[in-house]
Copies of this chain bind each other. A is one copy, B any other.
């Protein structure tokens, strides 16, 4: 028995999200099929961050327990049999008690916004195109309000399986990279749609349609209806998981 930790990148455009669902193309489904081919046994993956349809990953982590001998060149063989929109960038044996989800201390997400009048062929499906007015200073002020423990009820759907709505935000900030405004946030854990609703709401502040005060007040457990739109999935990336 070997516990194996995989580090994974994927372009979420062609997937109905991470979680395996019968008859749908999912990252978990494709990866488990590739693993079954290489290891000649069925395996079940545990993942650090379940991503929704269209959401990308640059540093997703998954783990599994294998009865089979795990080959040294597992990374290369998985990339050989798997699809082009998933890449395994690392695979290694870890301690028996490692679990990609439960062992994770924090997750970091990135949301990319393309700010320019024209769309971009290269950012199609990889950044939200925002040809509207935006004040980066105001975005910085929004992000500065995020670190700490807050009740994020306003930032997740009303119909929910979550039982606890507080999350610890360890870091959050916007940076400018050419035409791209990039939002990064690290927290112990995230609720469904949390980063996307945060971004959608901050863009309303940056656009002048909502005040900074209103935004910060939402962090005290306001209802979902008080926050802004859910930004589309194609700008979002699970960037890193820390253990």
Chain A positions near chain B (C-beta within 8 angstroms): 9-11, 56, 75-76, 79, 84-89, 116-122, 124, 126
- A137, B10: Cα distance in complex, Å: 31
Residue from B116, B117, B124 in contact with A84 in the complex, judged by beta carbons closer than 8 Å: B124
Q: Of B11, B56, B84, B122, which is within 8 A of A11 by CB?
A: B122
Which residues of the partner chain B approach A11 to less than 8 Å between Cβ atoms? 121-122, 124
Say whether chain A's binding surface is mostly helix, strand, loop, or mixed: loop
Taking a contact as CB atoms closer than 8 A, the residue among B10, B116, B121 that contacts A86 in the complex is B121
Complex: how many Å from CA A85 to CA B120?
8
Q: Which residues of B contact A76 (CB under 8 A)?
A: 117
Stoichiometry, as copies per complex, reads 2
Report yes or no: A124 in contact with B85, Cβ–Cβ below 8 A.
yes
Chain B residues in 8 Å Cβ range of A118: 9, 75, 79, 87-89
For the complex, what is the distance from the CA of A116 to the CA of B119, rounded to whole Å?
30
Q: Are A121 and B84 in touch, CB under 8 angstroms?
A: yes
Q: Which residues of B contact A88 (CB under 8 A)?
A: 118
- Ordered by A's residue number, 9 sampled pairs between the chains whose C-beta atoms are within 8 Å are A9-B121, A11-B124, A79-B119, A86-B121, A87-B120, A89-B116, A89-B117, A89-B118, A122-B126
**Please, which residues of chain B bring their CB within 8 A of the CB of A117?**
75-76, 89
For A12, give the chain B residue with the smallest CB separation: B121
The listed residue (B9, B75, B122, B126) touching A120 by CB distance below 8 A is: B9
B87 & A9 in contact (Cβ 8 Å cutoff)? no
CA distance A75 to B118 in the complex (A): 8
Q: Which residues of B contact A79 (CB under 8 A)?
A: 118-119
In whole Å, how far is A126's beta carbon from the nearest beta carbon of chain B? 7
Q: A11-B122, A89-B118 are in contact. List 17 more A-B contacts (CB 8 A).
A: A9-B118, A10-B121, A11-B121, A11-B124, A56-B122, A75-B117, A76-B117, A79-B118, A84-B119, A84-B124, A85-B121, A87-B118, A87-B119, A87-B120, A87-B121, A88-B118, A89-B116
